[in-house]
Structure 1
Amino acid sequence: MSTRPNPSSPSARFHLSLPPRSVFAVPDGAGVGIECRSGTVWLTLDRDPRDIVLEAGDRFDGTEHRRILVSALTSSCITVSDAQPAAMPLAGRAQPAGAWSPWRLLPHGLSPA
């Protein structure tokens, strides 16, 4: 018996090379897996006091709707799987000026790799 992928639930997966000190942002980490294929990365989750460091072969699976920043401590390669865009606010709901957007990094001199 063979298993075929279900076309109604597509899975996204991509590999990303990160030079040292670069940062990659995942706007909504719920259901997103991050696997360190080589090097060392440091994960920071919004409103989470933990320091999560992944080395080659380690994996982190996000379970909550939080932004994840992946910072390369050394030259690294990661695989991001099942990445889905964060839910956007419902149309018609006013957002206060300067409200945080999941599609934009705050201006701290950091940018996605």
Structure 2
Amino acid sequence: MRRVLILCGLLAACTATGTGPRSGPATVEEVILYRDNLTVEMSDGRLCTGVRNGALSGWRGVLGGCPYPLPFTVARAGKPAPRVVLSEGVQGTISVQITTETGVLTFGR
């Protein structure tokens, strides 16, 4: 009986901390472009990153550091700003495209 109670407590702790299985696919919440990397916050609170490969005006890759290996492309004109928060659906001099399970999302400024 004691083992059952301990197991129930451990399962409850996993559920409360969010380390249990996801109930559905996470979505992109926020995209921030830095000079040398891209940071993407997902709806489950996880942060994914894409690192610049040396190109100045644009680069592509796959998000890492999280369980969502989503392909991305960065395109920007002019001198890179140190930090830019991008808005979904905006076309401009800065553009990030992220390919998700449901299609391609565009963020820009």
Q: TM-score range by the shorter chain?
A: under 0.3
* TM-score (ref. length: structure 2): 0.20
Indicate the structure with greater helix content.
2
Q: Greater Rg, structure 1 or structure 2?
A: 2
* TM-score (ref. length: structure 1): 0.20
